[in-house]
Each structure stands twice: as C-alpha cells, then as structure tokens.
C-alpha cells in the first residue's frame, strides 16, 4: 500500500485524478469504478476541467459504481446514479450506456449477478476509486462483511445511517434508505489498481486503523493492505493520527 499525504484536499485530489487520466491516456477504453460521497467531488471537477481543455476523450471509457440505495431508481435527489450524472457524466463525452451503477429496484439478486457479469464482460476494472466510511466501510461493505463477498444487498449500520442523514438528508435519519446494493469486498479487491481518498478530521481514527492495525473484518478497509497496487491519498488532517512513521518508507509527502 502506498500512502500519499498532501497539505490540502485539492492537491490530493489533483494527484488522484492524474492517476485516472494517465491511465485513460494510455488506454482509451479504460474500465474505471467510481465512488460517491464528498471525497471525490474535487476529483470529478478535475476530470471535467481536463475534458473542457480537450485533453481527454471519454467516449470509449466504461465505468462502474460502487453502490446505490435500495428502492432508488436513479432520479431521487440522493441517488448515486443522479450524483454521477450531475457531477461527471453529463459534463464529459461518456456514453451513458457504458456507465453501470448498481440497480436498487426490481429483482435485486439478479441485478447483483448481472452487475458482476458486466464487470467480467469488460475484463475487470483497471482503476477503482474508494471513499472511506468512518466505521471503515468501503462501498457499503459494513464491518464484518466477508472478504469473499461479491455484489450484494446490505443493511446499513446505525453509524452509516447517522452519517448519511447528517451529510445528505438534512439530519433526518428516517429519510435515509435502510438498505443498499454494493459491490462486495472481493469485487473491489479484484480491481487492478485501487485509489482510496480520505480527507478531514472525521477520518483520522479510521485511517490510522486502516493503515496501521491488523487486517480484520471489523475494519473492512483494512483488507486493502493485502492489495498489490493500492494508493491511499489523504490530506495532512486525516493523516494526523498515523503513528508508525518508521513503517512508511513508502510515505510520499508532496508540497
């Protein structure tokens, strides 16, 4: 695991977006997996700016997304499909038919199966983006999710419901859907390269556990220690509780 610590979120996001854009410049039909939440917003802005300067062609790119709320059809204010359309897809020349967001309505078991099949049909994910839940979830893989899990339906933990109510649902926990469809831990770990973003005060404790503690199902993100090409990209605030600095000859400080 490589840990890249930047002074600010915007510098960190620029570095992260470069990983995707460099890949895209070498492979026009790159297969990416994207995340929602607050952490990737700067990164998507960089993609859009880059596209507007005519530097990138997204016409052959295929994207997957990590998760979606159960019961959402993609038009709701907080739907992850809508988030992706608003922040990125409507602003670049991507073919919407090549953008796969888990489907939270209808036959969920079949949706999960089809989602995994689509990943295989596109020969796997080249670069996958992750945010980090304050309880260590990645996608919506809550603590104690088996590391062998593929795309599945999950019940959101109390902590996630509270966080989502606070950040996206005007503090009204009753409005937060109680279930989601998420890529599993195995589906995530199968990606060739992983980029995880973590910014700000609320991520300090969990980032320390992810990087410095043992790999455990209790902290799903800790599994990333086992991935051969995982980049953790964070700001100095999120990194402020890392203690074991002697371990980090791979630590990268920029600026």
Q: Kindly list the catalytic residues.
A: 67, 135, 137, 142
**CB burial readout 18-37, b (16+ within 10 A) else e:** ebbbebbeeeeebbbbbbbb
Q: How far is CA 186 from CA 52, 150, 162, 223, in A?
A: 35, 6, 26, 10
Q: How far is CA 249 from CA 1, 26, 83, 241, in A?
A: 11, 29, 37, 17
Question: Binding of ligand GLP at residue 220 (CB under 6 A)?
Answer: no
Please identify, using beta-carbon distances, which residue of 38 and 155 lies nearer to ligand GLP: 38
Please identify, using beta-carbon distances, which residue of 5 and 220 lies nearer to ligand GLP: 220
Instruction: Name the CA dihedral angle for 28, 88, 123, 155, rounded to a multiple of 10 degrees.
Output: 170
Please identify, using beta-carbon distances, which residue of 132 and 189 lies nearer to ligand GLP: 132
Question: Binding of ligand GLP at residue 210 (CB under 6 A)?
Answer: no
Least gap, CB of 196 to ligand GLP (angstroms): 9
Q: How far is CA 66 from CA 42, 76, 151, 238, in A?
A: 18, 17, 9, 22
Question: Binding of ligand GLP at residue 34 (CB under 6 A)?
Answer: no
Question: Binding of ligand GLP at residue 136 (CB under 6 A)?
Answer: no
Please identify, using beta-carbon distances, which residue of 131 and 220 lies nearer to ligand GLP: 131
Least gap, CB of 69 to ligand GLP (angstroms): 9
Least gap, CB of 193 to ligand GLP (angstroms): 17
CB atoms near residue 89 (< 10 Å):
21
Question: Binding of ligand GLP at residue 35 (CB under 6 A)?
Answer: yes
Question: Binding of ligand GLP at residue 103 (CB under 6 A)?
Answer: no
Binding residue (CB under 6 A) for ligand GLP from 17, 160, 187, 190 = 160
Candidate ranges 30-38, 118-126, 204-212, 239-247; the one touching ligand GLP (CB under 6 A): 30-38
Phi and psi of 254, rounded to 5°?
A: -120, 140
* Contacts with 110 (C-beta within 8 Å, 6 or more apart), sequence order: none
Question: Binding of ligand GLP at residue 37 (CB under 6 A)?
Answer: yes
Sign of the alpha-carbon torsion through 172, 103, 156, 35: negative
Question: Binding of ligand GLP at residue 66 (CB under 6 A)?
Answer: yes
DSSP line for 229-247: TEEEEEETTGGGG---GGG
Least gap, CB of 30 to ligand GLP (angstroms): 20
Question: Binding of ligand GLP at residue 133 (CB under 6 A)?
Answer: yes
Footprint of ligand GLP (CB under 6 A): 35-39, 66-67, 131-133, 139-140, 160, 167
């Amino acid at each position: 695991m490589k840990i890249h610590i930047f002074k600010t979120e915007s510098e960190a996001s620029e570095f992260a977006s470069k990983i995707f854009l460099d890949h895209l410049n070498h492979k026009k039909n790159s297969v990416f997996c994207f995340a929602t939440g607050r952490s990737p917003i700067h990164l998507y802005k960089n993609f859009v700016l880059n596209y507007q300067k005519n530097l990138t062609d997204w016409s052959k790119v295929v994207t997957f997304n990590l998760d979606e709320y159960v019961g959402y059809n993609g038009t709701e204010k907080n739907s992850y499909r809508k988030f992706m359309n608003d922040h990125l897809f409507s602003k670049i020349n991507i073919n919407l038919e090549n953008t796969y967001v888990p489907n939270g309505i209808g036959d969920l078991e079949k949706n999960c199966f089809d989602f995994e099949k689509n990943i295989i049909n596109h020969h796997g994910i080249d670069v996958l983006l992750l945010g980090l839940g304050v309880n260590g979830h990645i996608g919506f893989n809550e603590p104690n999710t088996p590391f062998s899990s593929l795309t599945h339906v999950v019940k959101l933990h109390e902590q996630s419901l509270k966080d989502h109510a606070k950040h996206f649902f005007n503090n009204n926990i009753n409005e937060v859907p109680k279930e989601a469809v998420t890529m599993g831990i195995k589906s995530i770990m199968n990606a060739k390269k992983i980029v995880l973003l973590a910014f700000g005060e609320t991520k300090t404790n969990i980032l320390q556990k992810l990087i410095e503690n043992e790999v455990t199902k209790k902290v799903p993100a800790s599994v990333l220690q086992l991935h051969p090409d995982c980049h953790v990209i964070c700001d100095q605030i999120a990194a402020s509780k890392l203690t074991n600095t002697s371990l980090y000859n791979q630590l990268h400080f920029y600026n």
